[in-house]
Amino acid sequence: MAGTASARPAPARDLAAARRREERRTRALLLAPAMAILIFAASGPLLIVLAYSFLTPGDYGGVVWEFSLKAWFNVFAERDFFTGEIELADAHLSIFWRSIKLSAMTTALCLLIGFPTAYFIATRPRKTRDFWMLLVIIPFWTNLLIRTFAIMELIRNEGTVNSFLIWTGLIDTPIQMMFTEFALLVGMAYVYLPLMILPVYAALERFDFRLVEAGYDLYAGRWQVLRRIVLPLAKPGVVAGSILVFVPCLGAYVTPRVLGGGKNMMLGNFIELQFGQGRNWPLGAALALTLLVIVMAALIVYVRAVGREEGGRHG
C-alpha cells in the first residue's frame, strides 16, 4: 500500500493524511485484543450485574425475569415490617458508613507506615534498594487468605502476641484483639500496605534529593522541607497509593470475615449476604453497583481536586 502511494506523485498533504490513516488502523488493530478483553471480561459481567439489579428476586435465590425497581428502592429505603411505614434504610446506610470509615482509616494507617518506609528505601544506595523492595513485595506474593490467617495467629487470645505479653508478665489475661475493629484495621493495613509503598516509592525514587539539600541551605527546617519540597513532589505517588488502598478496602470481604468476626458487616459481607442466606440477588447487584458508583464519584472528585490544585500551582 505504502509503496503505491509513494510511487504516484501526490501532494505532501495527502501523503501525510494517508500515513495518519495507516497509523490509526495499525493502532486500532494492535489495540483490538486488549479492547476485546476489556469489553467482554469487564463490561460484560458488569452489564449482567446491571440487568440483575432491575429484576425480581427468585423465591430461593436466582432471579425472575420481571422488571422491577424494588432492589434500587431497597438500597436506600424499605418498608418497616413492624410499622408498615416506608423508612430510610438506616441499617444499609450504617453498613456503608462503617465501610467508608474503616477504609479511610486503613488508608491513613497505610500512608503513615508506607510513606516513611518508601522514603527509607528510596534513600538507600541504589544497590540495596532492590533488596528492600523485595522484602516489601514477598508478602504481597502470598495468598491473601494465608496472610489474613497469619495475622489471626498473631493476635488471637492464645496467639503469639498475647503469649509473649503473658510470658513477660505485663498482662495476666489475654487482650481480646480478635474480632474487633482493631483487628480489622491491622489486617487490612497489613494486606494492602504494599499497594501504598510501591507507588510512593516510584515517586520518591525519581525525586532529586539535591532539592532537600538546597532547602536546608535556604534555612528550611526538617518539617518545612518535608511539607514544602518532599510531599508536593511525592504527591502523585501518595494519591495513587491512597486510591489503590482505599478502593479494595471498601469491597474487602475475606479480612472482615476472618478477623472482624462477622459481628458487624462491611459492604462486601453485606453484598454476599444477599446472594446467600438473604436470597435477594437483585438487591445484591444494586448494592454492588452503588459501591461502584461511590468509588467512581470519589475518584472523580479526588482527581479533579488534585488536578485543580496542580493547575493553580503552575499557573
Partner 1 sequence: MQRLLTTVAALAAAGPALAQELNIYNWGNYTSPEMIEKFEEETGIDVTITDYDSNDTALAKIQAGGHGFDIVVPSGTYVPIYIDEGLLMESNPSEMENFEHVAERWRDPAFDPGRRYTVPWQWGTVGMAVNTSVYDGDINTAAIYLDPPEALQGRINVIPEMMDVMSIAIYYVGGEQCSQDRETLREVRDLLMEAKPHWLSLDYSTVERLAAEDIAASITWNGAALRARLQNEDIAFGYPETGYPVWSDNVAILADAENVDEARTFMNFIMEPENAAMISNFARYANGIAGSEAYMDEVMATAPEVVVPGDLAEAGVDSRICPPEAQQIYRAIWTEVLK
Instruction: Report the residue number, 68 or 264, with the smaller CB distance to partner 1.
Output: 264
Residue 181 CB: number of other CB atoms within 10 A? 15
Q: Which is nearer to partner 1, 158 or 217 (CB)?
A: 158
Beta strands at 63-64 and 77-79: parallel, antiparallel or unpaired: unpaired
Shortest Cβ 162–partner 1 spacing (Å): 11
* Minimum CB distance to partner 1 smaller for 14 or for 153: 153
CB of 253 to partner 1, least distance (A): 13
Query: Contact, 177 vs 151, CB < 8 A?
Result: no
Nearer to partner 1 among residue 151 and residue 273 (C-beta): 273
The cell numbers describing 27, all together, are 493502532
**Given the complex with partner 1, which of 4 and 277 has the nearer CB atom?**
277
C-alpha cell at 210: 539535591
Instruction: Say which residues have a Cβ less than 8 Å from residue 65's Cβ, sequence separation at least 6.
Output: 55, 56
| Percentages of the chain per state (helix, strand, coil), in multiples of 5 | 75, 5, 20
Q: What 8-state DSSP symbol labels residue 227?
A: I
Distance between CA atoms of residues 241 and 248, nearest Å: 12
Q: Residue 257 Cβ, how far from partner 1 at the closest point, in Å?
A: 8
Q: How far is the CB of 182 from partner 1 (least distance, A)?
A: 14
Please give the residue ranges that form the binding site for partner 1 (CB under 8 A): 59-62, 78, 81-82, 90-92, 94-95, 156-158, 176, 178-179, 261-265, 270, 273, 275-280
The C-alpha atoms of residue 313 and residue 86 are separated, in whole angstroms, by 49
- We find the least distance from the C-beta atom of residue 55 to partner 1, in angstroms, to be 14
Q: Which three cell numbers stand for residue 82?
A: 413492624
Q: Which is nearer to partner 1, 202 or 254 (CB)?
A: 254
Cβ-based nearer residue to partner 1, 75 or 245: 75
DSSP tag of 58: P
259 burial level (CB within 10 Å; 0-12, 13-18, 19+): buried
> To the nearest whole angstrom, how small is the minimum distance from the Cβ of residue 221 to partner 1?
47
Angle at 201 between CA 195 and CA 205, to 5 degrees: 160
CA angle 217, 199, 144 (to 5 degrees): 140
- Alpha carbon of residue 19 to chain centroid: 41
Shortest distance, position 36 Cβ to partner 1, whole Å: 19
Q: Which residue, 53 or 78, is less far from partner 1 as judged by CB?
A: 78
Q: How far is the CB of 44 from partner 1 (least distance, A)?
A: 15
